[in-house]
Amino acid sequence: MEQTEVAAAALAGSLGHDMSVWGLFLQADVVVKIVMIVLLLASVWSWAIIFEKWFRLRTMQARADAFEEAFWSGGSLEDLFYRAEKGRHHPMSSIFTSAMREWRRSGNRNVGDVAGLAQRIERVMYVTLGREMDKAESHMTFLASVGSTAPFIGLFGTVWGIMNSFQAIAMSKDTSLAVVAPGIAEALFATALGLVAAIPAVLAYNKLSSDFGRYVTRLEAFTSEFGAIISRQLEGEN
């Protein structure tokens, strides 16, 4: 009977604390609150990057489809160059326009070294490809960082919260649920926030990295094909 009364009293004491998400945050230690805020901000920023990269990748793919359709339609490269300069820029059109500019500048100087000119144009295209993909993939490292560090940041908050719980036990000399439960709940909440931030970041980073990798392969294929076309054009002019 006495054990039942003790358990009931402990349960009543624990229920006196606000165990909601907001209540756990307000009742947490200052250090645990900082951990929770950092993890929440990291999660929000990660989702912003995820959506931005997803929309950007879809846009680049759609514009690349339209550009390749125009490129392989058999029209004039000069007309396509003019439209590409005036239209919306994307990595594939930037590669094309950079090669055309180098071709036209070298052509105006009547360069006799055809092989050297072709290599120079190809280098220009690959430099442009790298620069464009650096811009497209910016902030991807943040997703990787959140995915690898957020669980440990949450674990730090958990350890700190459990330490506070043990200190409360030592000060009150009471091991009842009323003393232990709130601190443990706050501590575990920090771990949960770490996982909430890390899991989407890791999954999104892997998916986006794979999609960007396929897009880079597509750009490299276009660069090689356009380089071959330019080489044939130069050989035909000499």
Answer yes or no: is pLDDT of 186 > 70.
yes
Task: Please state the pTM of the whole predicted model.
Answer: 0.79
Q: What is the dihedral of CA 139, 143, 144, 145, to 10 degrees?
A: 90
What pLDDT band is residue 15 in, cutting at 50, 70 and 90?
A: very low
Tracing tokens 């790298």 back to the chain, one arrives at 130
pLDDT tens-digit series, residues 23-42: 666 666 788 888 889 999 99
What integer pLDDT is reported at residue 188 of this predicted model? 81
Least confident of 19-28, 209-218, 224-233: 19-28
Q: Measured between alpha carbons, how far is 174 from 163 in angstroms, rounded to an integer?
A: 15
**Buried/exposed 109-138: b ≥16 CB within 10 Å, e otherwise:** eeeeebeebbebbbebbbebbeebbeebbe
What average pLDDT does the chain have?
A: 81
Q: Which domain holds residue 83?
A: 2-237
Count up the domains in the chain and report the number.
1
Nearest to 146 by CA among 191, 187, 194: 194
pLDDT tens-digit series, residues 194-204: 999 999 999 99
What integer pLDDT is reported at residue 109 of this predicted model? 54
Q: At what angle do helices 77-86 and 30-71 cross, to 10 degrees?
A: 150
